[in-house]
Amino acid sequence: MRTITILLGVGLICVVNGCLPDTSGNDPPSDRLIYPVGLTMSADDQYLFAANSNFDLEYNAGTLVAIDVGERLTQAIAEAQQDTSDADFVHVPIESLIRSDQTIRFGAFASDLEITPLGDRLLIPVRGERAILLIDVAQNEAGLQLNCGQGPDRRCDSAHKVESNDQYSLPIEPYEVGALNYVEPLSGQNGEEQITTLGFATHLDGGEVSLFVVRDGSMGGRAAAELIRVVEGVVPGASGIAVNPQSNDIYVSGRHAASPYVAVMRVLTDSENGSFSRNPYFGSVKKINIKDDLTAATDIRGIAVTSTGDRAYAVVRKPEALIKFDLESNKFLDMVSVGATPTTVTLIEDNRGTPQDPSDDQVYAFVLCFTTDQVFIIDTQLMEVIAVREAGSGPQAMAFDRARQRVYIANFRESTISILSTQWPFDYFKAPDGRMIKIGEPRLPKGHD
């Protein structure tokens, strides 16, 4: 862990001073995991996308890879079972699953990965470039196609980056991203509406939140996005961000607030001054104060909102817990203790009860704890831990595969992906021979024995 800490310090110094890692070194492999920090599923649940941070700067770029978790994974598991060198795990070779012809390169120190609501763009904040990348996602007769205007070196062009412009300066350390579809009526068009995709990013160092618009049309080389607002002083150490799918409010958590709170942001159209895309109102509208309930909670990390928009959950490191609050009254409701250094939370909603009766739906919170290599699974109605499962070394990010009822977990320190079921007893996804499965062969960080 000492090697990792030193390298992170070097990376942050580089980012703060606006420098970029040396790009004269070795090209990264197009079919590997390299310290993954973000996962998300394609809209059709065929591909798992992973953002690789190139954390130890072994290569001259980080990468985005597309992993086929459909038939290719099933075939790879059957083939990998022939290796019996590990009594507990089947290690599925990652190169057999990655569409290496679609791998995208970018600067070091990516920190998140999200997909837009329409499933047509991937968003990646990259601290080493001080930019947010937008990668077009399309399916055609040739299968999956990823495009960000890249040339032979597979790097994104300027039209697919959110960067500073003549009006606004993108703050340093873009950290987490979110997106929503903003709907506004078209005047004089018989009730027709225009849908615009908006993106948001937190900025870890200065506590800002930036707003950018994602343009219509993909694959055509037009300007894909534009930075249109930056709000300062949202919350010190702004890190986690979540979008309410019902109200479109944006919730931002932070690591360094002396009196802990979650900031609520909102985007509105200034109808008197033209359409939203030319003159949006974007800013902080309220705070959800939790200082009376968690006086030590100065380090709030990941945050997630239910699909019904009435509840939110956030992981806290002081104390180490998952907290629950009501989004109608903006009040703290409950908390439950979890393991050391919780990092992120993903909500798994089980609506298999009576379709007409939402009261029998279940919402489970999956919380990753980085240093203890654990996944805590919490019944959010009772706010009780109902299972604790082992992940790989340094679990960092999750993605939910709805088609197969699985959760994929990116293990940062060993560059692998673990797979858990989203149904009781939340066990490891296993091969036919009973062994647990990891995608990729575990590797230690450079410099470790």
**Which pLDDT does position 143 carry in this prediction?**
86
Q: What is the pLDDT of residues 53-103, one digit of tens each?
A: 999 999 999 999 999 998 899 899 988 988 888 888 999 999 989 999 999
Average pLDDT on 390-417 reads 95
Q: Give the Cα separation of 96 and 80 in Å (integer).
A: 10
Domain boundaries, the chain: 1-110+397-449
Q: What is the pLDDT of residues 133-182, one digit of tens each?
A: 999 999 888 789 999 888 888 899 888 999 999 999 999 999 999 999 88
**Which pLDDT does position 141 carry in this prediction?**
80
Higher pLDDT, 271 or 212: 212
**Which pLDDT does position 15 carry in this prediction?**
40
- pLDDT-based confidence at residue 5 (cuts at 50, 70, 90): very low
Angle value at C-alpha 280, between 277 and 282, nearest 5 degrees: 135
Within a 10 A sphere around the Cβ of 333, how many other Cβ atoms? 15
45-68 per-residue burial string, b: 16 or more CB within 10 A, e: under 16? bbbbbbbbbbbbbebbbbbbbbbb
Q: What is the pLDDT of residues 323-346, one digit of tens each?
A: 999 999 999 999 999 999 999 999
Average pLDDT on 421-449 reads 82
Within a 10 A sphere around the Cβ of 213, how many other Cβ atoms? 21
Angle value at C-alpha 402, between 396 and 403, nearest 5 degrees: 125
Question: At residue 448, does pLDDT exceed 50?
Answer: no
Q: What is the pLDDT of residues 276-317, one digit of tens each?
A: 555 567 888 889 988 777 766 678 999 999 999 999 999 999
Q: Give residue 427's identity as a one-letter amino acid code.
A: D
Question: At residue 273, does pLDDT exceed 70?
Answer: no
